[in-house]
Structure 1
Amino acid sequence: MSNKLMTACLFGVITMILTGCWDSIDIENRANVLAMSIDLAHSGEPEHTKHITSLKEGYEEEGQELLILTAQVAVPGRIPLGPETTNGGGDGPVWVVTSTGKTLNDALLKMQLLIAETLFLGHLHVIVVSEDFARSGLDQLNDFLRREAEVRRTAWKVVSKEKASTYMKVAPELERIPALYLHSMIENTVELGKFPDSFLGLFWRRMSSEGEDGYLPYLQIVNEDNIQIKGLAYFDHKKMVGILEPVEIGLFMAIVGDEEGGYGFFVEVPELDEEVLLITNRRKSKIKTKINGEQPEMEIKIRIEVDLHESNHEVLTIDNEQVLKEIEQQCSVITEQKANEIINKMKEERVDIFGFGGYFRAKQPKFWRNEVANEDGWRDHFEQLNVDVSFHCHIRKVGLKAE
């Protein structure tokens, strides 16, 4: 009996080993999508795709806006495997394909008919959405991406000021593959402390959390082939409602306690008609919550370390410690004032991108259960939230000469 059992087990193991990957697809038979963009279609459905997924005439006139899906597909054999010896921007490594549909799945089905190989989203790095699409809501896109098991949660979703499809055709000089350049640019911006981490999985977590709203990078094309982060696009109920300017992003990161510095700003030297440039090196914040009666309150203490880099006047010298202290004081006053403006702006729009609701939910559970209960309840309290913000600037390094 034992011999029969051992034989059966051995046969089962051998069977599993020898079967291989029953659902494998050779890499050359896949069309790897590296990036995709989504725009709202304002000119209707193209004639060549009208009757692919619809059985009736004029379905684009039923009141539902159509979507334009554009994808960068890697061309097999043309992706560089090593460092380039020539400038980027040449055509060849990617193929840009466009389709239109009522939904993303509809557009993807039509796109598949334009490509011989099977579309594969496992190497998708960036999803670019136009501002008008983002303001109309991201429910459909989020639902599609969450149900698509191939899509990595480490991919980035970004909002574009221009048509999103433009980013599929931009050819930066530093990289032959536009999608990889865009992905690297965003990742490096996070590492340099110029933007908070908000990759796809993290964005979904924030959007699903009670007491916190999501945000994404807001991009703009400059000089045709240059891409810059123009601001931070923030969302309310999965719809984009506004933008923070680049200089405000640094203060936002200070409020939420993102330690890595990166932004610079000018501060006026007291009693002198001069300005000095301060570069943020480190940030640290301490957040406390309390309930005063039935009113929630927050106390935020922020310390930022800055490097004093340069002046807008050649003859300015740092000759005593008192001048440094006055600059630190001026820095604290300016940053505190601007941070309060950002918080008040978010309170007026009832958008909690700071995640203050999460602090109350964790630290004040009784208040949350009895007074807040859900996301809409928190928006009412957030609008009336008392926030006491204090900044302390410390000059860590001086790059100006002293006499």
Structure 2
Amino acid sequence: MNRRWSKLVKLSAALSMLVPLLTGCWDRLEIEDRAVVLGVSIDKAKGNSDNDEVTHHSNTMPAPKMGLIRVAVQIALPGRIPLGPGEGGGGTTDPQQTVWVINVVGFTLDDAFMKLQQQVSSRIFLGHLRVIIMSEEYAKGGIDNVNDFFRRNSEVRRMAWLMVSKGSALALLKAGPKLERIPTLYLMSALDEGINMGKFPRDYIGIFWSNSSKKGEEGYLPYVALRKEQNVEIMGLAYFQGSRMMGKTKPLQIGSFMAIKGSNPAGYRVYVMLEGTKKMVMTTTTHRNTKWKASIKDGKTHFSIKIVLEVNIEEKMSRSFNLNNAGIVRQIQDIEARKAEKFCAQLIRQTQTAGSDIFGFGEYIRAKKPSYWNANIKTKEKWQEAYKEMTFDIHAFVNVRRVGMKAT
């Protein structure tokens, strides 16, 4: 009897171990059954046209009393995207034939995506979402709904790009660039390569959410525009206070922002004119080293910012002076240093007016002066006001490392 029970126990144990292996892919979802969304655009909508009652009913389940938004998605078409450098495998090089762009009007993002799902046979999948574009008009009204919807969705990757567009975001999503078969991937690669070339700081959507959540720092996003040749230009930084866009910078001010933060690599170029003449050179920054020192003066925060720039001379506009002359090189260094101090100070004052500390000075105070923060600031709202009254001084130093293959 004992031997029989022993065999039954062993058999049951063996079967119980085999059962999990027999389940297979019970919850599989074929890629052809998914509507893979690569990009999303968000604009303010005009009027109440094509607002289908999918998530609400005018009599029994009224919609919220708020403005309408137009949401568009860029869906990858299965079998149309080439997998290699050639055109084989049934692919196409026309960007308009590799993706499908559809748009709807809704009160919120969830409302709009529900309406999109009503129009698409496959399940909408956001696991490969790469780019989210908001119009400037929408961003200035506040992006709480964007932050809430995409942060709640577990499919959305924190390495996606969130950006603000000049004009219509839908037009940017429909762009057909010649350098990329998939328009969304062109937008993504433009920003990724901008990081590698020192044209833009690393600022994925996860970093933006992290910065916006801090008590002593605000978020910023790429500010982009569509040009007539269907190419995209990075026109500056869109800076925020909380969830509301407060303003934007010029393209060269991105370099000032990265200098104040000490971000590398560096890649911006500027003209330098020698004093009392029309002699000019073009320099490019190759490396930055920045140090902050915080203090309290008359009950207000004060920052001393030291910026050291390593530059190369890229171009000389006249043959009337020689770069072998050490005095000329020192003059170039001094002039560019003074210009850098003025330009960086201008950007800080611009963000102070808006109460938007995109540099993280408040977080530095929290870390280095915790007693002052706990006694006088405490909250994000108070720092937004205190930042407007913050004082600072900037000291820039420029070192010319190379003058090119010829000095004359």
Q: TM-score with structure 2 length normalisation?
A: 0.93
Deviates more, 1:88-97 or 1:380-389: 88-97
- Which letter does structure 1 place at the counterpart of 2:53? H
2:365 equivalent to 1:367: no
2:122 equivalent to 1:120: no
Contact 1:213 1:235 (C-alpha < 8 Å) held by counterparts:
yes
2:218 equivalent among 209, 213, 219:
213
Instruction: Summarize the Cα distance change of 1:60–1:343 in structure 2 as closer, same or farther, 3 Å threshold.
Output: farther
2:341 equivalent to 1:336: yes
Instruction: Summarize the Cα distance change of 1:90–1:157 in structure 2 as closer, same or farther, 3 Å threshold.
Output: closer
Q: Partners in 2 of 1:137 and 1:250 — Cα distance?
A: 26
- 1:2 deviates by 8.2
Contact 1:298 1:386 (C-alpha < 8 Å) held by counterparts:
yes
- 1:6 deviates by 6.0
1:29 equivalent among 33, 36, 45:
33
What is the aligned partner in structure 2 of residue 75 from structure 1? Answer: 77
2:293 equivalent among 288, 296, 312:
288
1:177 equivalent among 179, 182, 185:
182
Q: Partners in 2 of 1:165 and 1:2 — Cα distance?
A: 70
Contact 1:45 1:66 (C-alpha < 8 Å) held by counterparts:
no
Instruction: Summarize the Cα distance change of 1:60–1:44 in structure 2 as closer, same or farther, 3 Å threshold.
Output: farther
**Within 5 Å, which residues of 2 pair with 1:4-403?**
10-46=14-50, 49-56=51-58, 63-84=65-86, 88-399=93-404, 401-403=406-408
Give 3-state SS (helix, strand or coil) of 2:96's partner.
Answer: coil
Q: Partners in 2 of 1:201 and 1:308 — Cα distance?
A: 37
Q: Partners in 2 of 1:294 and 1:10 — Cα distance?
A: 74
Q: Partners in 2 of 1:4 and 1:214 — Cα distance?
A: 64
Contact 1:36 1:69 (C-alpha < 8 Å) held by counterparts:
yes
Instruction: Summarize the Cα distance change of 1:143–1:2 in structure 2 as closer, same or farther, 3 Å threshold.
Output: farther
Contact 2:35 2:76 (C-alpha < 8 Å) held by counterparts:
yes
Q: Partners in 1 of 2:13 and 2:198 — Cα distance?
A: 56
- Which letter does structure 2 place at the counterpart of 1:83? P
Contact 2:95 2:183 (C-alpha < 8 Å) held by counterparts:
no
Q: List gaps (5 residues or longer) in structure 2.
A: none
- 1:17 deviates by 2.8
Instruction: Summarize the Cα distance change of 1:358–1:8 in structure 2 as closer, same or farther, 3 Å threshold.
Output: farther
Q: Partners in 2 of 1:306 and 1:319 — Cα distance?
A: 16
Instruction: Summarize the Cα distance change of 1:93–1:322 in structure 2 as closer, same or farther, 3 Å threshold.
Output: same
Q: List gaps (5 residues or longer) in structure 1.
A: none
Q: Partners in 1 of 2:193 and 2:392 — Cα distance?
A: 32
- 1:9 deviates by 5.1
Q: Partners in 2 of 1:365 and 1:76 — Cα distance?
A: 55
Q: Partners in 2 of 1:167 and 1:234 — Cα distance?
A: 20
Q: Partners in 2 of 1:60 and 1:168 — Cα distance?
A: 31
Contact 1:88 1:171 (C-alpha < 8 Å) held by counterparts:
no
CA RMSD after TM alignment: 2.2
Q: TM-score with structure 1 length normalisation?
A: 0.94
Instruction: Summarize the Cα distance change of 1:118–1:292 in structure 2 as closer, same or farther, 3 Å threshold.
Output: same
- Which letter does structure 2 place at the counterpart of 1:178? P
Deviations 1:305-355 (A, max 9, x none): 111010233544313111101100000000001111111121222110000
Contact 1:44 1:60 (C-alpha < 8 Å) held by counterparts:
no
- Which letter does structure 2 place at the counterpart of 1:384? E
Contact 2:80 2:92 (C-alpha < 8 Å) held by counterparts:
no
